[in-house]
Amino acid sequence: MDTKIVECVPNISEGRNKETVKKCAEAVSSVPGVTLLNCTSDSDHNRSVLTFIGSPEGVVEAAVALCRTASRLIDLTKHKGEHPRMGAVDVIPFIPVKNVTMDEAVEISRNVGKRIFEEAGIPVYLYENSASAGHRRNLADVRRGQFEGLKEKTLLPDWQPDFGTGFHKTAGISIVGAREFLIAFNINLSTSDVDIAKKIAKVIRQSGGGLSCVKALGIMLHNRNIAQVSINMTDYKVTPLYRVVELVRAEARRWGVTVTGTELIGLSPMKALIDAAEYYLQLEDFNYSAQVFENHLL
Amino acid sequence: MDTKIVECVPNISEGRNKETVKKCAEAVSSVPGVTLLNCTSDSDHNRSVLTFIGSPEGVVEAAVALCRTASRLIDLTKHKGEHPRMGAVDVIPFIPVKNVTMDEAVEISRNVGKRIFEEAGIPVYLYENSASAGHRRNLADVRRGQFEGLKEKTLLPDWQPDFGTGFHKTAGISIVGAREFLIAFNINLSTSDVDIAKKIAKVIRQSGGGLSCVKALGIMLHNRNIAQVSINMTDYKVTPLYRVVELVRAEARRWGVTVTGTELIGLSPMKALIDAAEYYLQLEDFNYSAQVFENHLL
């Protein structure tokens, strides 16, 4: 079958008000040709992650509809949460899944960026593979300063939005782009000392000289009174899940704490999880394509 | 889609002569409507496992064709191997995969049994869900005495074949039935003392008071000069893979040996492997159906 499938994983800056999250989810799921796969809210992060797939046309409509709804319901001037954010719909990544190239996904992200400004009045930065300049590729760099720093940031010549000018007074700026599958993965520690999570995050992430394609932050989960290493894995084929978990377990021992559990936010490709099984079960000569039954049905 | 899919995983008593294995595989793959997914040979076991899927009609034709070919090429009077066996095509299980009930799979196995005797002259025992009596359900009981004991066994009133009488002089008896997905899984030890593998096998298997739905044998891999615990898991939803591996690791420590690796023979359902990832990664609140991306494409 040559059906084109694109995935979109927008993060919205609301993880506490269920009614608002529900309306945002409905804005997506009511678009024909789009299937909402998952919606995960985190009240400490005060953030929700929506995952949907659909045709290239469908995902464009759904992303724009989401921004229209979110800009009405989410007010960043009153938003507090553990996770850095710049917009009501903070980041809108498009991932090519089936019969779609990265170039096509970039094209989709540009269409969406243009329409978000035109139809919801929210200026847009393009990032990752859609970035208009090298210094705008990395999400953390684009988001630096957060919502509160937008007034200053958007005055800098290097940080003019790609679509629109300035920023939306309550919805900020949305960051839109095409990228590879990203795994959002959190590791909970047996401590309420957030400094330990921060120290671990610093040594495991790529920017700290740690693992390639790993971004990590140490944060506090106030609801559960535990510290967490919050991780984005931008390429699980380069750095597999198990290596991150084992490295965090090793670094945690140094501080006398243990990993009490982990959380997968949204979706993971089956291979990322089966790679972990292959490692821990010590499978020899394992052939992923041939030996996983479902690969013959896909 | 309401296409019916049945899986068939015949084990043939040849794992050394590549030409013979190839001809057997071709007998299967040349049948229209059938896809050969996997063929794994083991020279210590002197046994190969073929895995194919197809329509109910297709898998019947392929299984009968395999028996015709194997009965010409495999002579059990000259066969030696670590693994117990009773027939040239030793065991022919049918597994309902998609839009097929277990009752339909039983019906398929009976058709195949009848035709194997009529067209290849090989008598057949039905086993598992197809068994004609309670004492014939368990494969190990049906196969007890192996090829060499067939003359005696087939004279017993309780052990008349379900199709045909006596046994084929060189191809023995084939054991045919419908069952759930079975995972064939071997665990290699850092020792050449087969008694250790046998002791571990004895305590982990259900018949020894160990884990439910686990069958295990301790065998010697002469080629690699290591002992192996050879395992069949008849229901990974009852006893997951990781529990077997962790129990073998624990029992191995008692003898001062370690697990050097494991082998998956043939195929595994994706869920059996992802269950292991969930355990080892300590995933909390993991939703298999929703969070594994490919489940939305199947």
Q: Given pLDDT bands bounded at 50, 70 and 90, which one contains residue B1?
A: low
Q: Which of A155, A178, A201 is the last residue of a domain?
A: A178
DSSP label at A117? Answer: H
Torsion region of A282: left, alpha or beta (phi above 0 gives left; psi -120 to 50 gives alpha): left
Residues of A with a Cβ under 8 Å from any B Cβ are 5, 7, 35, 37-38, 53, 97-98, 181, 188, 241-242, 245, 259-264, 266-270, 273-274, 276-278, 280-286, 290-298
Q: Which pLDDT belongs to residue B98?
A: 85
Return the CATH number at B94.
3.30.990.10
Total count of domains within chain A: 2
Report the pLDDT value the prediction gives residue B296, as an integer from 0 to 100: 85
Alpha carbons within 13 angstroms on the beta-carbon side of residue B71 total: 21
Longest dimension (CA), chain B: 57
Per the prediction, chain B carries an average pLDDT of 95
pLDDT band at B137 (very low <50, low <70, confident <90, very high): very high
For A23, list phi and psi in degrees, rounded to 5: -65, -35
* Kind and range of the H or E run holding A14: none
Over pLDDT 70: what percentage of chain A? 100
Mean pLDDT computed over A76-96: 95
Same domain as A207, residue A174: no
Same domain, A194 and A148: no
Asked whether the beta carbons of B117 and B173 are under 8 A apart, the reply is no
Residues B234 and B92 in one domain: no
For residues B97-123, give the mean pLDDT. Answer: 96
Residue with tokens 């007010």: A75
Chain A positions touching B7 (Cβ under 8 A) are 293
For B46, the token pair is 């002197």
Residue where a domain terminates, one of A178, A196, A230? A178
Test mutation, A34, A42, A282, A286, chain B, max B CBs within 10 A? A282
Tell me: do A162 and A256 sit in the same domain: no
Residues A67 and A80 in one domain: yes
Would you say residue A17 has pLDDT above 90? yes
What's the whole-number mean pLDDT along residues A197-215? 97
Q: What percent of chain B has pLDDT over 70?
A: 100
Cα–Cα distance for residue pair A294/B21, rounded to 1 Å: 25
Full domain range(s) for residue A285: 183-296
pLDDT category at A24 given cuts 50, 70, 90 is: very high
At residue A95 the predicted structure's pLDDT band, cuts being 50, 70 and 90, is: very high
Is A101's pLDDT higher than 70? yes
Residue B174 shares a structural domain with residue B188: no
pLDDT, position B297: 82
pTM: 0.79
Strand B34-42 with B47-54, pairing: antiparallel
- Domain end point (choices B147, B178, B209): B178
Kindly state whether residues A220 and A123 are assigned to the same domain. no
Residues A151 and A63 in one domain: yes
For the segment A231-267, what is each residue's pLDDT rounded down to a tens digit? 999 999 999 999 999 999 999 999 999 999 999 998 8
Q: Are residues B89 and B21 in the same domain?
A: yes
C-alpha triplet B67, B71, B77: angle, nearest 5° = 135
